[in-house]
Amino acid sequence: MDVERPYPPMLRRPPYTAILETRKEIEKHINELMDMDVIRKIEHNEIMEITTPVLITWHDGKSRLCGDFRALNN
């Protein structure tokens, strides 16, 4: 028996390992984006494609939060 899904299969990737300092920096960026209503927390039953966050650190010590979207090309 096949069940028809109204949505495409999820793209799931395992999280990258990160040291505590990097995780804190990622959480800081995520909280800033949530405060600006750019992103929101999803409910446990929502169907969303979620990307793995990647922290890019510049030479001057500032950082930028990016997403790893390579799985979308497969």
Residue 34 — pLDDT band, cuts 50, 70, 90?
Answer: very high
* Residue-level pLDDT at 22: 86
The candidate with the shortest Cα–Cα distance to 74, out of 8, 17, 21, 24, is: 8
Q: Could you list the residue range(s) of the whole structural domain that residue 25 is in?
A: 20-73
In a domain, 8, yes or no: no
- Overall domain count for the chain: 1
* Residue-level pLDDT at 52: 78
In a domain, 15, yes or no: no
In a domain, 13, yes or no: no
Q: Which residues contact 56 (CB under 8 A, 6 or more apart)?
A: 63, 64, 65, 66
| Residue 41 confidence (pLDDT) above 90 | no
